[in-house]
Amino acid sequence: MADFCRVMETFAPTGLAQEWDNVGLLAGDPAASVERILLTIDLTPEVVREAIHGKAALVMAYHPPIFRPVGAIRADGPGAEACVFRCIENRIAVYAPHTALDAAEGGTNDVLARLCGIRECEPLEYVDEPGPARVKLAVYVPAPDVEKVADALFAAGAGHIGDYSHCSNRIACTGTFVGGASTNPTIGQRGRLEYVDEIRLEAVLPSKCLPAAVKAMVDAHPYEEPAFDVYPLLARAVRGIGRVGVLPASVSLNALAKKLKRATRAHCVQIVGSGDHKVRRAVVVAGAAGTLPLRLPPVSGDVIITGEIRHHDALTLGRLGVAAIALGHWASERPVLTDLARRLAEALRPATIVVSDEDRGPFNAA
C-alpha cells in the first residue's frame, strides 16, 4: 500500500487537489501489501463485487466515495458509504485522486486534450504547487564584510537553488543611522548621522534553516544590530486544472464532436453551436466545466470540451458565439484510466493493475 501511495503521490500529488476535495487513501491499512489493483471512475456495488471476485487488494476510485463528512458507514447506507463498508469488510483499500489527477501532468485533462489533438497545451487555471516552504533572507552588510557574512549563510543552508549552491544577490546601497547614547557603532560615532556604503545581500533557504541562518548571520556581521528582512516565498505554479491549446487545424464542431465520441466511447454527445461552426482553440475541462466565466474568457472560434455544462452557461456561450462539446461527465474522465493503468503497471511491478469492466456511467441513451 505504501508503494502505491508513494507512486500516486508522484503521478498526482495530493497537494494539487482543490481545497474542497477529499483525495488520497480513504480506507485501508497503509502497511498492507497490494498485489492486485482495480481502477474505476466510480465505486458502485457492481465494481465492489468485481473487486471481491477478482481478489483486488485496492480500488482506486477516481471520484471519492467519501466526499463530505458522514455520520455512519453501514452496509445498508443509501450512498457510496455502503460500498466503502463492503470494501472494508473484504479488506479492500480505497484510494481517490480526483482533482489531483485533473491537475497533474499526464492526468485526466491531459489525456482528454491529447484525444483532441491539442498543441501548445497549458493549464487553464494554475494551482499552488506543494513543496517545502522557502524564504528569502536579505541583510545589509558593509561592503568589506560581505564575503564573511555570505559564507556564514551558505554554511547554515542558504543559497541552494536546484543543483546550484552559493547563490546570492548583491545590490550596492547606502545605509544611514544615528547611534544612541548606549551604542558603540562599528563605523562612525554615536550621536551623529552616518552614511555607510553597504551591500544588500540576499539568499534563499528552506524555512526550517531560518533560525540557524539568522544566528550565523548575526554572529558573522560586524554591526551590533544588523538590519535584515525575511520574505516568504511561494512555489512556482506550473500545473493546474483544465487545459487550453490550439487544435492542429480549424475543424467543424460536428467533426470534432464525432471524433471525441469515438475516442471516449461516449453514449450521447451534445454540442452548443452550429455543427458546421469552425473551431481552432480548445478549452478542456474534464468532468464539469463549472460556472462561467472561465479565467481565460472564451471568444468566437473557441470550443469548450467538457463532460457536462449548465443550461444557462450554454445559453451564455451561444450568445458569445462560442462552441461547446459535452461528452458526459463519466465519459470525459474514463479515458485516463487506461493511461494510468499502464503507468502504474510500470512503476509497481509485479503488481497487477486492472481497469474495471463494471464501471459504468449513470446515464444510458434511450
Average pLDDT value for residue range 33-61: 97
Domain boundaries, the chain: 2-103+335-355, 109-128+239-327, 134-233
What's the rounded Cα separation, in Å, for the pair 63 and 326? 19
Percent of the chain with pLDDT over 90: 75
Q: pLDDT category, 256, cuts 50, 70, 90?
A: very high
pLDDT tens across 27-39, in order? 999 999 999 999 9
134-233 domain in CATH 3.30.70.120?
Answer: yes
Q: Does pTM surpass 0.95?
A: no
Q: CB under 8 Å to 32, separation ≥6 — which residues?
A: 1, 57, 91, 93
Measuring CA to CA, which residue among 78, 75, 79, 47 is closest to residue 66?
79
What's the rounded Cα separation, in Å, for the pair 338 and 112? 12
Second-level CATH architecture of 109-128+239-327: 3-Layer(aba) Sandwich (3.40)
Average pLDDT value for residue range 60-83: 90
2-103+335-355 domain in CATH 3.40.1390.30?
Answer: yes
**CB half-sphere exposure, 134, CA atoms < 13 A:** 18
On the 0-12 / 13-18 / 19+ scale of CB atoms within 10 A, 238 is exposed
Is the per-residue pLDDT at 355 higher than 70? Answer: yes
Q: Do domains 109-128+239-327 and 134-233 have the same CATH topology?
A: no
pLDDT tens across 261-309, in order? 999 999 899 999 999 999 999 999 999 877 655 666 778 889 999 999 9
What's the rounded Cα separation, in Å, for the pair 340 and 317? 33
What's the rounded Cα separation, in Å, for the pair 172 and 318? 58
pLDDT tens across 159-171, in order? 998 889 999 999 9
Average pLDDT value for residue range 35-61: 97
Residue 195 CB: number of other CB atoms within 10 A?
A: 11
Measuring CA to CA, which residue among 339, 359, 335, 336 is closest to residue 347?
339
Cis-peptide, bond into residue 350, ω within 30° of zero: yes
Average pLDDT value for residue range 59-87: 91
Please give the grid coordinates belonging to residue 86: 463492503
* CA dihedral for 61, 338, 107, 119, sign (positive or negative): negative
Please calculate the CA angle 324-108-86 and round it to the nearest 5 degrees.
115
Measuring CA to CA, which residue among 79, 85, 97 is closest to residue 37?
97
Q: What is the pLDDT of residue 294?
A: 64
pLDDT tens across 114-141, in order? 999 998 888 888 776 666 678 999 999 9
Q: What is the pLDDT of residue 308?
A: 94
Residue 85 CB: number of other CB atoms within 10 A?
A: 18
